[in-house]
Structure 1
């Protein structure tokens, strides 16, 4: 279980109560965060990124990633503060400060800013609001967002391009994108946006390419990958269902049995028996 508390419309405090938590995310806005306790592991097409206590990270908007949060060695639950920098605020800032039109940003989507003393001080100034969230008014949150923008621009030249590239995703190859990203359990509207389409166009193009609906294809694709991981890679169903994009184990088990005639656990036991009978294979 995770307790998410929006202190203000774009400031999030998240604290988990389980030792290990897994989730998937798609953020339409840039996110600047600090790990207060525990550890977070972010997995994207760029690879893995680890945040330990005190780590500060900036994540670019329109990114898909899986997140695994763990308690630290002392058993402290994972917790963080995250500030979302929305496009409207950035547009207003760009006009007011004569920021020139930026080229397409092509650098890293996740940037490690740990060690930046000014950003550390910025997050320290937010800590009192954890116990007094009502004191974080909309006006203060607005000022804090502008402060974060200023601090990022001071951190290096690349952040102007990072923040003020307002180009939206172009219409891209749908088949390639879906085959690379089907494991992410996000709404169809998010898939549509990331491929540069409206939801209706996304569904229409999808049906033309795959000859089925997105919902049916996603479930079939995830079940096929799960079957492979359990039968060939000997992975446990409890580890597999989140990895391939299912929300809960019971739904995964039900859909798996409907597709293959046996539950994931039964497939695991079947594979174990084969190994016992044929230990050399």
Structure 2
């Protein structure tokens, strides 16, 4: 059975059907979400953030993380509602409400807002739209988005800089960043944005540093890490391929044998 995804404007309802699902994500926009059932674990440079039923979380834009979704204690599938706060609507809100340029945000990328009764009521008001998504028109979505911004600002002044810090990522050390984040299976355009570059500049800078293309380097790096985990850490190939950034086992197996002359299963048996 396939996962269910319903996206209306900037609102997303997601419901999984498999017991455990692992994936990588990059959000270019802030996201406010609530876990309706099951559990989601987010792994990032900040550590691990766990969302259980009724957990409300605000996630900062331009974040890269791995996510593991699990069923709940009673076997209910993981499901959540997310609201994405894009830069256009935040710019518009700031202009209409005369919000002066705030200081640069330097706090946590994931903020736990669980227990806020107003945010819980806000998400409760969205539940009917799961079964009737067409009722969530563009106008209603805009009004609900403005409501969410108002509720977030009522939680305290700290979230003003979180929401309205419009600074973009600066051009950062590409070699260090890629060596730390090569396991994330995200589009090349996302790597470019996260390192403060256009896609063409990212590829040009990458070639100067690594003397190869990003695609070739990523596959080589991921295969080398897989070889190490299987031969030295005695991990199973079926557990390794996702962890090092491959999308499916068959592609991983083919690339592994082509690179090392034996299958990952044969290496594991040694």
TM-score, with structure 1 as normaliser? 0.94
Residue 217 (structure 1) shift: 0.4
Partner of 1:99: 99
The reply on whether 1:217 has 2:228 as its aligned counterpart is no
Deviation track 1:162-192 (CA, whole Å, cap 9, x = no partner) reads 0000000011110011111111111111111
Partner of 1:125: 125
The reply on whether 1:14 has 2:14 as its aligned counterpart is yes
State how many pairs are aligned: 269
Partner of 2:83: 83
| Structure 1 segment 130-279 matched on structure 2, within 5 A | 130-270=130-270
Counterpart of 2:241 in 1: which secondary structure? helix
Residue 134 (structure 1) shift: 1.1
Cα distance in 1 for partners of 2:104, 2:266 equals 50
The reply on whether 1:61 has 2:61 as its aligned counterpart is yes
Deviation track 1:33-60 (CA, whole Å, cap 9, x = no partner) reads 0000000000011111100011111100
Cα distance in 2 for partners of 1:177, 1:56 equals 30
Residue 265 (structure 1) shift: 1.2
Counterpart of 1:155 in 2: which secondary structure? coil
Residue 102 (structure 1) shift: 2.1
Cα distance in 2 for partners of 1:157, 1:102 equals 10
Partner of 2:28: 28
| Alpha-carbon RMSD | 0.8
**Over 4 Å off, 4+ runs:** none
Partner of 1:5: 6
Cα distance in 1 for partners of 2:157, 2:261 equals 57
Deviation track 1:113-157 (CA, whole Å, cap 9, x = no partner) reads 111111000000000111111111110000010011000001121
Residue 104 (structure 1) shift: 2.0
Cα distance in 1 for partners of 2:43, 2:254 equals 27
**Gapped runs of 5+ residues in structure 2?**
none
Cα distance in 1 for partners of 2:127, 2:153 equals 23
Deviation track 1:220-265 (CA, whole Å, cap 9, x = no partner) reads 1111111111111111111111111110111011111111111111
| Counterpart contact for 2:6–2:133, Cα < 8 Å | no
Cα distance in 2 for partners of 1:10, 1:83 equals 6
Residue 2 (structure 1) shift: 2.2
| Counterpart contact for 2:230–2:264, Cα < 8 Å | yes
TM-score, with structure 2 as normaliser? 0.98
Residue 106 (structure 1) shift: 1.1
Deviation track 1:33-90 (CA, whole Å, cap 9, x = no partner) reads 0000000000011111100011111100000000000001111010000000110000
